[in-house]
């Protein structure tokens, strides 16, 4: 079994509606609502806009992802052929797709063209932000860190000052 197959076998999610923990083999149908379970919303980043030279133009990049092919299934007893429709999702502009549908997440989690989480966001920035925008973002992040450090220092000084005051107030 390859790594991808092992990961697919171990894939688990939790429904926010009925509370069930489930995997692919359990199916995606929810007992508490029509259709699929509802899981925590997840954002996927499609990183296939690299062929577009201008970074600004990449913002218009949209793509349809074919997650599951259409299939025909023959019933073993009746011989009746039923079509099972596939699953196609369309990203928003700049290759972003958000979903709380577990079946979509299942296929997207193993899709080679998309990434998710913090790692995906970092790659998305590289693909869809101009160097100037990336710089501004880094500077904003740095300013935020510096502000937090200043606040912590101020708090520390305040605590020290209070401790000194209490010490000096002690009767000798
Ligand atoms: Zn459910």
d(CA 45, CA 127): 10
What is the tens place of the pLDDT at every residue in 95-124? 999 999 999 999 999 998 999 999 999 999
Domain boundaries, the chain: 3-129, 130-172
CA of 55 to the centre of ligand 1 (A): 40
CA of 99 to the centre of ligand 1 (A): 15
Asked whether residue 151 carries a pLDDT value surpassing 80, the answer given is: yes
DSSP 3-state percent helix, strand, coil across the chain (nearest 5): 45, 20, 35
The closest alpha carbon to 159, from 171, 151, 148, belongs to 151
CA of 52 to the centre of ligand 1 (A): 41
d(CA 166, CA 163): 5
Report the pLDDT value the prediction gives residue 71, as an integer from 0 to 100: 82
The closest alpha carbon to 45, from 135, 100, 126, belongs to 126
The model's pTM is 0.75
CA of 43 to the centre of ligand 1 (A): 20
């Amino acid at each position: 079994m390859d790594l991808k197959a092992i990961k697919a076998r171990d894939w688990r999610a939790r429904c926010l509606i009925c509370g069930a923990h489930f995997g692919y083999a359990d199916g995606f149908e929810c007992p508490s609502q029509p259709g699929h379970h509802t899981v925590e919303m997840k954002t996927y980043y499609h990183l296939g806009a690299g062929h577009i030279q201008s970074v600004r133009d990449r913002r218009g990049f949209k793509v349809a992802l074919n997650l599951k092919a259409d299939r025909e299934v023959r019933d073993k007893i009746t011989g009746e052929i039923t079509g099972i429709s596939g699953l196609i999702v369309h990203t928003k502009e700049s290759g972003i797709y958000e979903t709380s549908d577990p079946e979509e997440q299942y296929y997207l989690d193993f899709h080679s063209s998309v990434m998710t989480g913090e790692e995906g966001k970092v790659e998305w920035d590289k693909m869809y932000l101009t160097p100037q925008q990336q710089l501004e973002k880094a500077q904003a992040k740095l300013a935020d860190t510096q502000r937090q450090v200043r606040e912590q220092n101020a708090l520390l000084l305040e605590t020290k000052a209070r401790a000194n005051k209490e010490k000096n107030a002690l009767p000798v």
